[in-house]
Amino acid sequence: MPAGSRPRTKLDLDPAVVRTARALARRAGRPVVKLARSHTTVSVERATLRLAGLEGADSDGIPWVNRLVDAVRADAGLEHGVALPVWHAMGTGEHADLVQLAQKAAAGSVTFRVPEGAAAGKAGRAARRDVGRGITRIDRRRKERERLIARIGDPPQRPWIYLIVATGDIYEDIPQARAAAREGADVVAVIRSTGQSLLDYVPEGATREGYAGTYATQENFRLMRAALDDVSRELGRYVRLTNYASGLCMPEMATMAGLERLDMMLNDSMYGILFRDINPIRTFVDQRFSRQVHARAGIIINTGEDNYLTTADAVDEAHTVTVSQLLNEFFAKEAGLEDWQLGLGHAFEINPDLPDSFRLELAHAMLARELFPAAPLKWMPPTKHMTGDVFRGYLLDGFFNLVGAMTGQGILLVGMMTEAVVTPWLSDRDLALQNVRYVLGAAGKLHEDFRPEAGGFIAGRARQVLGEAVELLEKINRDVTHPIPLLGAIADGTFGITRRPADRGKGLDGVVRRADGYVNPAIDILDLSPNVGMGRPGAKRSVTGSPRAN
């Protein structure tokens, strides 16, 4: 190789441009991380109580964690966190456990205050002990997964086949999930009930009346994980379970997922802001905590860039997807996640009537693959341009599967003919799986051979999108009109052509600036986890985790 030359990637990307893109993403993301580290939310505090073992709900279905956090906030505020007031009250010996304390608090028979001095030290130590037990349980569940995979076995091929169930009834979801696994699913996703992301509490217990999906609850997580463990043993391969850590209860969802050994969680840094109008500050505070839990639990996150292409043009706005992927990577690694846990999202959503649409899809998918070579990218099927023409839809799904094979995607969500037209029939799922099996069987290793011309259309388009992404990140970072430029960009409609100001949105009233002396034992423990803080100046990476096991 001539002196000064560099090894050529498939797309001939300039390493200096790639480094610049990541540096700009870090620069845009750091003020947001600083913001997250200086605030708390009601859901972060509730998640902390869940780690300490507080479960259950009152006769109206309101969880005890909500009742207790609300009572503490009314008496003492949340600026110092719930830990000191709650464990100071527990230290009186008048309450048998946290449930009884929450019950008395809901009845108005307990008054909370922030202790000081020796009393604060005693309360802090007790809180760390109890919350630490919950994190230890998450650690045990992670090791349990690794033992099961070692004993049962992993799927023999990539990409993993990802199928959804969404009946609304957990007891109907279970047989459907088992059937999906027997038909070839490597990952089963239980779609969450419509609107749950806007509930500022997590329903309790097993549920049977969801809407276009099943409520995400800890008991539903437990039931489905147990069912998939049974079918995993039957099939001789570990079947992964996916749910959601998004919306107003993102930290609690992540905590419950860790406690019940879920394997993947939908968790995007900006999805709730853009598509659910959740306050940006609330979202960024909650997502950092949730991703720290995911990192500790060995959970793979799935990000939501595919959603941008449902509201914005998939060609004109392709660079915003790349920018979001780079930001999601930064936020994830800063929270402690490793490359093998980054199921970064993208989608096959270009109008098929556009000339060279297939070549454009190849370019975008290859760009994602080369920018994040160690990440199990989640490739999403066509929905936006699906119609009632089932033959055309089946062909589009075949093209989608082919791009996945040609570009080495990690997680392939199975597309179905009537996707986005009606709720697909089980027969549609069977045909979709036949499509996937054929394409992967015939061309599954095509990515090993496929290499576009360096000066050709595909490589040129990929370099163009990367260049536009760098330009957008530079523009975001140049903005001096907003104290936190990324929040300004979100307010201006940069992503998904949706404007979301930082001083508006659902859940803003649940955001609290931390005071000096704020105590949260969950954050204290999670901040000590390996890799947390990656992306901050002076941070050094430690290598942990097991890509093979997850």
Which region among 137-146, 355-364, 487-496 has the lowest average model confidence (pLDDT)? 487-496
pLDDT at 541 over 60: no
Catalytic site residue from 378, 394, 397, 506: 378
Of residues 216, 159, 227, the one with CA closest to residue 191: 216
Can 378 be counted among the known catalytic residues?
yes
Residue 232 CB-density burial (10 A; 0-12 exposed, 13-18 middle, 19+ buried): buried
Q: What is the pLDDT of residue 65?
A: 98
Q: What is the pLDDT of residue 202?
A: 98
Which region among 201-210, 455-464, 480-489 has the lowest average model confidence (pLDDT)? 480-489
Structurally, the chain folds into a number of domains equal to 2
Do 367 and 11 meet the contact criterion of CB atoms below 8 Å apart? yes
- 193 with 51, same domain? no
Residue carrying structure tokens 């052509």: 497
Residue 19 sits at the vertex; the CA angle it makes with 18 and 23, to the nearest 5 degrees, is 120
Catalytic site residue from 306, 308, 506, 518: 306
Q: Which domain holds residue 94?
A: 40-131
Catalytic site residue from 215, 271, 308, 394: 271
Those residues with Cβ within 8 angstroms of residue 128's Cβ, 6 or more apart along the chain or in another chain: 521, 524, 525
Q: What is the pLDDT of residue 5?
A: 46
Can 524 be counted among the known catalytic residues?
no
Residue 545 banded pLDDT, cuts 50, 70, 90: very low
- 246 with 281, same domain? yes
Can 430 be counted among the known catalytic residues?
no
- 66 with 210, same domain? no
3-class DSSP string for 468-517: HHHHHHHHHHHCCCCCCHHHHHHHCCCCCCCCCCCCCCECHHHEEECCCC
Q: Give the domain-ending residue among 131, 162, 184.
A: 131
Q: What is the pLDDT of residue 8?
A: 61
- 119 with 169, same domain? no
Q: What is the pLDDT of residue 377?
A: 94
Those residues with Cβ within 8 angstroms of residue 345's Cβ, 6 or more apart along the chain or in another chain: 268, 302, 303, 304, 305, 306, 307, 325, 377, 378, 380
Q: Which residues pair with 380 in a beta bridge?
A: 347
- 120 with 162, same domain? no
383 located within any domain? yes
Q: What is the pLDDT of residue 529?
A: 79
Q: What is the pLDDT of residue 422?
A: 61
417 located within any domain? yes
Spatial distance between the Cα atoms of 65 and 204, rounded to a whole number of angstroms: 11
97 located within any domain? yes
DSSP string across 66-90: HHHHHHHHHHH-STT-SHHHHHHHH
pLDDT at 515 over 90: yes
- 266 with 298, same domain? yes
CATH code (residue 201) = 3.20.20.440
Do 286 and 41 meet the contact criterion of CB atoms below 8 Å apart? yes
- 121 with 168, same domain? no
- 170 with 207, same domain? yes
Residue-wise pLDDT for 3-31, tens only, equals 444 556 899 999 999 999 999 999 999 99
- 167 with 127, same domain? no
**Model pTM?**
0.93
Residue-wise pLDDT for 162-183, tens only, equals 999 988 999 999 999 999 999 9
Q: What is the pLDDT of residue 426?
A: 80
Q: What is the pLDDT of residue 423?
A: 66
